[in-house]
Structure 1
Amino acid sequence: MGEQRLAKWYFGGLASCGAACCTHPLDLLKVHLQTQQVASMGGSQMAVHIVRSQGLLALYNGLSASLLRQITYSTTRFAIYEVVKQRLGDSKGEPLAFYKRVMLAGFAGACGGFVGTPGDMINVRMQNDIKLPIDQRRNYKHALDGLIRVLREEGVSRLFRGASTATFRAVLMTIGQLSFYDQIKGFLLTTPYFKDNLTCHFTSSLAAGAIATTMTQPVDVIKTRAMNARPGEFKNLWHIISYTGKAGPMAFFKGYVPAFVRLGPHTILTFILFEQLRKNFGTIRVNTN
C-alpha cells in the first residue's frame, strides 16, 4: 500500500497566476513583436524602447488582464484535465494511456480557450496600448474596466473576437503542456536518474514548454492580430492569414524567441508551483498494490 497526492481542481489556476506575475514583461514583449508588420526591432531593442519611453512599470501594462486570463483560461483547462484524469485512473494510480491524455488535454484546452477569450483580448489590448498614438489609445484602467468598456462600446460579440483561433491555440497549448508534461515526467521516473522532485519537474516542464511553443506559435500570431485589430480592419480569419503571409512564411513565427523565453519560464514556474501545491496540500489517495 502507498500514498499518492492528487491535485485539487484549482491548483493549476493558482500556479498559473503566480507564474504570470513573474513572466508578464516577456509576454508583453511577445505581443509587441507580433503586432509590428515590419520587423524593425528585436526583443531587447523593444524592451529598451519601452522602458525609455514609458518607464520600467510599463513592462507590467495589462498585468490585471493577464491574471484575469489565467483565472479563467488556466483554471478551466487544468481543472477539467486533472479532475477527469483522476476519475478515469484506477485505484492503483496507473496513468492513462498517452492518446487518452492528448484527447483529454485537447478538450480541456478548448473549454479553457473559449472561456478565457475575453480576458485574453483585454490582455492583448492593454499590452499593446503604449505602441499606439496617444489619441488612439484605449487607456483601460484595469481588466474589469476593459471588459465593461468593450461591452458598452463594441458589444458582447466583440469580447469573443478571435475565439476560434484562441480556442485552437489553447487546444495545442494544453496538449503540448499538460499531456506532454505528464508523458515526459512519467518516462523520466522510469529511469534511475530521476525521482519525483524539483529536478524532474524542471526538466519535464522545460521540454513541455518547448513543444508547446513550437506547436502554437503560428496560431498565436494570428490570434494576437485578430484580437488587437480595429473594427473592420480585417474581413475574416483568412484575411488576417493572407495579410500576415505577405511578409513571408517567417511572419507566422514572429516573436518566437520571446515566446519561448516567456513560455519556457512560465511553464516551468507553473508546474513547479503546481507540483508543490499538490505535494503539500493535495488530496491523499491510498494506492492498493
Structure 2
Amino acid sequence: MSDQRPLPFAYQFLAGAIAGVSEILVMYPLDVVKTRIQLQVGTGGKGEYTGIIDCLTKIVKNEGPSRLYRGITAPILMEAPKRATKFAANDEWGKVYKRAFGVSQMTQPLSILTGATAGATESFVVVPFELVKIRLQDKTSKYNGMGDVVRQIIKKEGVLALYNGLEATMWRHIVWNAGYFGVIFQVRSLLPEAKNPTQKTTNDLISGAIGGTVGTLLNTPFDVVKSRIQNTPVVEGVVRKYNWTLPSLALVMKEEGFRALYKGFLPKVLRLGPGGGILLVVFTQTMDFFRGIYYKD
C-alpha cells in the first residue's frame, strides 16, 4: 500500500522540482526537435525536417551536438517551479475539492478536475520561461542567450510581452494535466497492488507513461499553436498572424490541414510518455524519502 501521509507544502514543492529537473536532463533534445518541427510551416511533409531522425541528424551535422541543448537554461530554471507547482498544486487542489464535495478519497472525476486546475495554476509560472525557450530553439534565432532574449523582448515588445501566449499555455496545461492525472488514477486502480518498492516503481512508471501519452495526445494541437504564438514578436501596429488559440487552431487547419495540428507529436510523445513515467517515479520516491525524514520517530 502506497504511503499517503501528508507532507507540508515545502516538501511537495521540492519533490516536484527534483522530479522535473531529472526528467528534463534526460529528455530535452526531443523537446528541441519537437519545437523545430512545430515551427516549420507547410503541408504534406514539405519542410526542412521530415521526421525525428532527420531533424536530429541535421541539427547535429549542420549546427553541432550542443545545439540539441540550446535554450536548456530557461527550462532548467523553469522545471523546478513548473513541476513543483504541478504536483504541489495537484495535491493542494485535491484537498480543496475533497472538502468541497464532502468526500474523503479521490475519484477519477475529481482527479481530472484537480489536474485541470493544477494545470491552470502551473501556466502562470511557466509562460515567460516557455517564451524564452521557444525563441532560443528556433533555428533562425539571433539571440545570444536567455538574458538577451529577456532584454530584447522587454525593449522591443514591452514587459507584458513576456506573457505572450498565456491563453494558449493555459489550454495546453489544463488539457495535459487533466489527462495525465485522470489517467494515472484509473491505471493505478487497474494495476496489481504494490506490495514492495519494486512493484510500486513499476506501477508508477507504467501509469505515468500512459498518463503522459494520453495527455500529449489531447494537448498537442494547443502546443503547436502555443509555439507559433510565442515565436511571433509583438510589433506595434501589426496584427500578428497567430494571436489567440482557437483562431490559430482554425488558421493552421485551413492553411496546412488537420495533420499540421499534430506536428511534432512523435518527439513530444516520446518525451512526455516516458517522461511522464520518470516524473511520477522520481516524485513519489522523493516524497517517500521525505516522509521517512519527516515522520521519523
| TM-score, normalization by structure 2 | 0.83
Q: Is the 8 A contact 1:4 1:284 kept in 2?
A: no
Q: Which has the higher contact order (CA 8 A, sep 6+)?
A: 1
Deviations 1:145-186 (CA, angstroms, capped at 9, x unpaired): 433432233212211111101011100111122232233223
Any stretches of 5+ residues in structure 1 without a counterpart?
none
Mean Cα displacement is larger for which, 16-25 or 96-105?
96-105
Residue 190 (structure 1) shift: 5.0
Counterpart of 1:177 (choices 169, 180, 183) is 180
2:104 matched to 1:100?
no
TM-score by length of 1: 0.85
Matching residue's letter, 1:243: L
2:125 is the counterpart of 1:123: no
- The secondary structure found in structure 1 opposite 2:191 is helix
Question: Partners of 2:261 and 2:202 in 1: how far apart?
Answer: 33
Indicate how the Cα distance of structure 1 residues 45 and 279 shifts in structure 2: closer, same or farther if over 3 A, else same.
same
- 2:223 pairs with 1:216: no
Say yes or no: does 1:157 pair with 2:160. Answer: yes
How much has 1:43 moved relative to structure 2?
1.2
1:39-118 matches, within 5 Å, as 39=45, 40=47, 41=49, 42-86=51-95, 95-118=105-128
Indicate the SS of the match to 2:12.
coil
Partner of 2:243: 236
Q: Deviations over 1:99-148 (max 9, x none)?
A: 122111111110111221111111111111xx21xxxx332423x44334
CA RMSD after TM alignment: 2.8
CA contact (8 A) 2:225 2:242 kept: no
Superposition map of 1:238-277 within 5 A: 240-245=248-253, 246-277=255-286
> 1:6, 1:16 → 2: CA distance?
21
Residues 49-103 of structure 1 deviation map (CA, whole Å, 9 limit, x = unaligned): 100111111100010111233233322222111234357669xx96312212211
Q: Which residue of 2 aligns with 1:18?
A: 22
Q: Residue in 2 aligned with 1:206?
A: 209
Deviation at 1:6, TM superposition (A): 4.2
User: How many aligned residue pairs are there?
Assistant: 276
Measure the CA separation in 2 of the matches of 1:204 and 1:241. Answer: 30
- The percent of aligned pairs where both chains have the same amino acid is 24
- With over 3 angstroms needed to count, the CA separation of the structure-2 counterparts of 1:183 and 1:139, relative to structure 1, is same
Distance 1:148 1:183, change over 3 A: farther
